[in-house]
Structure 1
Amino acid sequence: MANEETKKFDLVILGASGFTGKYVLREALKYLSPSLAIAIAGRNPTKLAAALEWAASPTPPPAIPVILADVSDHSSLLDVAAQTKLLLSCVGPFRLHGAAVVAACVESGADYLDISGEPEFMERMEAEYHEKAVKTGSLVVSACGFDSVPAELGVLFNSRKWEGVGVVNRMEAYLSLESERKIVGNFGTYESAVLGVANVEQLQELRRSRPRRPRPKIPGPPPPKGPLVEHQKTIGLWAVKLPSADSVVVRRTLATLTEHPHGLPGVEESDEYVEKRKNFWSSVKPAHFGVKIGSKSLLGIVRFIFTGLFIGLLGKFAFGRSLLLKFPEIFSLGWFRKTGPTEEEVSSATFKMWFVGHGYMDESTASQSGKKPDTEIITRVSGPEIGYLTTPIVLIQCALIVLHQRSNLPKGGVYTPGIVFGPTDLQQRLQENGISFDVISMKTGTN
């Protein structure tokens, strides 16, 4: 691990003047104190100063250092990474701008968190930098925002409810976005989805080039394919499959748990933390997992489907991508716009993510051919608007854990949020900051 005595800052936010970055900065300022040295970094000092003024409003902006850094200038990124214990990256799309930042942090031994929801970027960083990060002591964790901490912790929360009840076979997450006003998504998320379609072959090639990871043993048969559009009567939603990063990240976490059933190697922990991580590892019950986006009306699902079709078809071609990115409001049927949501639209939005677990009262039943699941446990994670409120809350709480509990985390390496933060008090911290974890129902004998 790098010598932290030479680090000038505890935390640097890279891209603090961006749409999401300024909300991350606003959340970070809540924890600003003489014992926490924060700086912001980016290309344009004028925009960074304006973002700081906005984030601090209505009070005068604090005297936070501004560091000039450009993702196209490796030396400037090395300079930033060398000065900080932890770098938070809000510079997306990460497929275009993320790798250079990760490389600088790994080279300098700085820890790194980001809010990426791009599977190819995350898996490529693991493939290219994990071994070096282990050597330099750089802890690299992507998806520390709405993609994918609520999904990871939601799966772990539901999984633990099966203790003493039975064995889980499959779990579906249903995401419902709600607002008293119009729901407007993060343009960066939309842009990442468009570029993800354009680069799907690179992701498949990357996966083929890597060794196959062990699959967890899941009791019972594989889940049925199911209809394209589902009416989930229990939670009152129409739903369709959502090709998000959440299911990919959860599967990576389960694969790591399968590879290391007794904990990660090389983690020096206190006796208390050893027990926490041991309990965490043993309590996670692997299950088939998928994510769907839901709506109370069938019309809402139709809008999701058409947006997906536009991105899926046009995103394969350069001209189609230029149209998608030039006219997001048209091709997303109003879900996304370049200017992003207004402050009123952000403050009025909320999310609910339901986790419906299906399984068996005992493992012997699961092993019987043709037996359908007979037990159902439904849990829910809910909170404020996902892109500009929940994501900053999650990222900053993850950052505080890295800063204050560093000796109990992996020395270095590229990991998923579930592996690094699952055994910590992250869930409790989120609950104290407006993100709820609730048990909705537990039923047996449902078949």
Structure 2
Amino acid sequence: MEDQVNGKPLYDVVIFGASGFTGKYVVREALKFLHTPSSPLKSLALAGRNPSKVAQSLEWAAHPNPPPDIPILTADTSDPASLRRLAAQTKIILDCVGPFRLYGEPVVAACVESGCDYLDICGEPEFMERMEAGYHEKAVDKGSLVVSACGFDSVPAELGLMFNSRQWDPPAVPNSVEAYLSLESDKNVVGNIGTYESAVLGVANMSQLQELRRSRPRRPRPVIPGPPPPKGSLIEHQKKLNLWAVKLPSADSIVVRRTLASLTENPRGLPGVNESAEQVEKRENFWSTVKPAHFGVKMGSKSLLSIFRIIAVGMFIGLLGNFSFGRKLLLKFPSFFSLGWFKKEGPTEEEVASATFKMWFVGRGFSDSRLAADGNNKPDMEVVTRVMGPEIGYLTTPIILVQCALILLNQRESLPIGGVLTPAMVFGATDLQDRLQNNGISFSVISKNSLQA
């Protein structure tokens, strides 16, 4: 096959959608690890439908150095043959072409068919669950790992929840973990337009998602000690964190639920392709320390006005996203309907550099699991942890995506043979958390306290 040399793929990684807003930042992050000592990334290619735009992205990403000599391949989501050629030439495709419900499936189909691995930065539950329903069995057969949400959606949430749950030393058990996301900057940062488009299309496709879920067999739910937490009010003042917060309909909680369902079916995680006895023991030990909990995400801000702004944008998208004329308006005038948060031209480099995120995980549970067995007891213990890092869409997301790819290149034999899986099920027991910590995304324990009855 001309796409391979001696039966092996030509490239370790192909970045598809390399000229997009996020794609060019992914290229910049990947270049840091290309041909560097101890990095498994020895060969890289970039792909997109417009080679000259991809070349401009490479030049931007390499600046101030001259662009390295990297192959630029032409591929388009409307041309399945071009995607099959792409997948045949590489071990991994990093897909940055969203919205994924419009452009993702042909890329997944090509990767599964050729048996190469696929990672993306999707935060769209309907797309992820549709890929799981349609491609999981075939991906297992072909030895292709298909892992969505390998960016800010939803790795900080997944690893953050697991990090919090592992701080509950037996006999203590968590009951609920609430994540509070706070975005901070000294400039007015513009959000990623793809995120906005995905939210609008998510509302439009809500009925398809519900229909898809009804059509699939019910998965087992984890057994969580103690009663479910109370619903709480729409707006919360979290005094300990000095934040106002509002509940966010996010991909994070849906991805976490899928992980907890997988863990209920596979309490020791998923076996690797060719694990050593030591790797089996490491994986089983890791998953034995992860405890399930009710999980939700709230958007937090020090300003109550910002919370009302979040609610207003949510109402615009929720009301107008349900019919086609409303969606046209939302997509045509993103700056107006998002009250300035999203613009078609995206943020400047200075805005990106100035932004950071903090994600607080407030876990509540029981100092002794026997207390949870009595349904009348309220949680008597709280564990607060935090994940923090740089701007979410253009800095944190590429860091996570590239580290996931490096783990696939380096540790493929100890990872599941294939399937459409969540990031935690593939990378949870690996050194991903340590790698993120070494690349500017930190995990900390903030406090462990008793709660007053």
Name the TM-score class by shorter chain: over 0.9
CA–CA distance in 1 between the matches of 2:206 and 2:246? Answer: 21
2: CA distance, partners of 1:111 / 1:429: 20
Alpha-carbon distance in 1 for matches of 2:8, 2:72: 19
Matches within 5 A, 1:5-16: 5-16=7-18
Whether the 8 Å contact between 1:82 and 1:110 is mirrored in structure 2 is yes
Map 1:392-411 → 2, pairs under 5 A: 392-411=398-417
Q: 1:261 aligns with which of 267, 270, 273?
A: 267
Over residues 96-149 of structure 1, what are the superposed CA-to-partner deviations in whole Å (9 max), with x where a residue is unaligned?
000000000000000000000000000110110010000110011000000000
For residues 34-62 of structure 1, give each alpha carbon's deviation from its aligned partner in whole angstroms, at most 9, with x where no partner exists: 86100000100110000000000001000
1:157-185 Cα offsets, whole Å, 9 max, x none, are: 00100023611000000000000101211
Matching of residue 273 in structure 1 with residue 308 in structure 2: no
Letter matched to residue 25 of structure 1: V
CA distance in structure 2 between the partners assigned to 1:446 and 1:308 by the alignment: 35
- Residue by residue over 1:4-55, the C-alpha shift from the partner in whole angstroms, topping out at 9 and shown as x without a partner, is 9420000000000000000000000001118610000010011000000000
- For 1:302 and 1:211, the matched residues in 2 are separated by 39
- 1:41 equivalenced with 2:17 (yes/no): no
Separation in structure 2 between the aligned mates of residue 30 and residue 319 of structure 1, nearest angstrom? 44
Counterpart pick for 1:348 among 322, 338, 354: 354
CA distance, structure 2, for counterparts of residue 4 and residue 219 of structure 1: 54
What is residue 135 of structure 1 aligned with on the other side? 141
| Structure 1 Cα separation of the partners of residues 201 and 286 of structure 2 | 36
- Give, as a single letter, the amino acid of the residue that structure 1 aligns with 2:244: W
After superposition, the Cα gap between the structure-2 partners of 1:265 and 1:393, relative to the gap in structure 1 and judged at 3 Å, is closer
Whether contact under 8 Å (1:162, 1:168) holds in the other structure is: yes
Distance in 1 (alpha carbons) for counterparts of 2:397 and 2:374: 43
CA distance in 2 between partners of 1:24 and 1:327 (Å) = 27
Match of 2:89 in 1: 83
Task: Tell me, in whole angstroms, the C-alpha distance in 2 between the residues paired with 1:353 and 1:115.
Answer: 18
- Name the amino acid aligned to 1:275: E
Q: Is 2:188 aligned against 1:172?
A: no
Distance in 1, matches of 2:343 and 2:171, equals 46
Q: CA contact under 8 A between 1:4 and 1:85: conserved in structure 2?
A: no
CA distance in 1, matches of 2:51, 2:271: 42
Q: In structure 1, which of residues 383, 387, 402 is the aligned counterpart of residue 393 of structure 2?
A: 387
Alignment partner, residue 286 of structure 1 = 292
Match of 2:317 in 1: 311
Is the alpha carbon distance of 1:159 and 1:4 closer, same or farther for their aligned partners in structure 2, counting shifts above 3 Å? farther
1:266 offset after TM fit, Å?
6.4
Distance 2:53 2:420 in 1: 31
How many angstroms apart in 1 are the aligned matches of 2:135 and 2:5?
20
Q: Which residue of 2 aligns with 1:21?
A: 23
Match of 1:327 in 2: 333
Displacement of 1:280 in angstroms is 1.7
- Measured after TM superposition, the shift of residue 276 of structure 1 is 1.7
* Mapped partners of 2:252, 2:452: distance in 1: 28
For 2:231, the equivalent position in structure 1 comes to 225
List gaps (5 residues or longer) in structure 2.
none
1:156 aligns with 162
Determine the C-alpha separation between the residues in 2 that align with 1:293 and 1:3.
Answer: 49
Is the Cα–Cα contact under 8 Å of residues 161 and 361 in structure 2 kept in the other structure? yes
> How far apart in 1 are the matches of 2:306 and 2:269?
43
Which stretch has the larger CA shift, 149-158 or 2-11? 2-11
TM-score, with structure 2 as normaliser: 0.97
- Whether 1:194 and 2:200 are equivalent positions in the alignment is yes
Aligned to 1:211, the other structure's residue is in SS state: coil
The letter of the residue matching 1:16 is A
SS at match of 1:234: helix
Q: Deviations over 1:321-354 (max 9, x none)?
A: 1111111111111111111111110000000000
The amino acid of 1:369's aligned partner reads G
Whichever residue aligns with residue 141 of structure 2, its letter is K
Q: Which amino acid aligns with 2:116?
A: A
Counterpart in the other structure of 1:418: 424
Q: Counterparts of 2:139 and 2:360 in 1: how far apart (Å)? A: 35
- If the length of structure 1 is used for normalisation, what is the TM-score? 0.98
Question: Structure 1 pair 4/250, CA: closer, same or farther in 2 (3 Å)?
Answer: farther
Instruction: Determine if contact 2:273/2:412 at 8 Å carries over to the other structure.
Output: no
Alignment of 1:28-107 (within 5 A): 28-33=30-35, 36-107=42-113
Q: Size of the alignment, in residue pairs?
A: 446
Q: Could you tell which deviates more after superposition, 159-168 or 171-180?
A: 159-168
Provide the alpha-carbon RMSD of the alignment.
1.3
How high is the sequence identity, in percent, across the aligned residues?
71
Check conservation: 1:373, 1:446, Cα contact below 8 A. Answer: no
| Distance across 2 between alignment mates of 1:9 and 1:93 | 26
Deviation at 1:364, TM superposition (A): 1.3
Aligned counterpart for 1:182 among listed residues 188, 195, 199: 188
Q: Which residue of the other structure, out of 301, 305, 320, is the alignment partner of 1:299?
A: 305
SS of the equivalent of 2:198 reads helix
What is the identity, as a one-letter code, of the residue corresponding to 2:13? L
Q: Matched residues in 2 for 1:404 and 1:167: separation?
A: 34
Match of 1:125 in 2: 131
CA apart distance, 1:275: 1.6
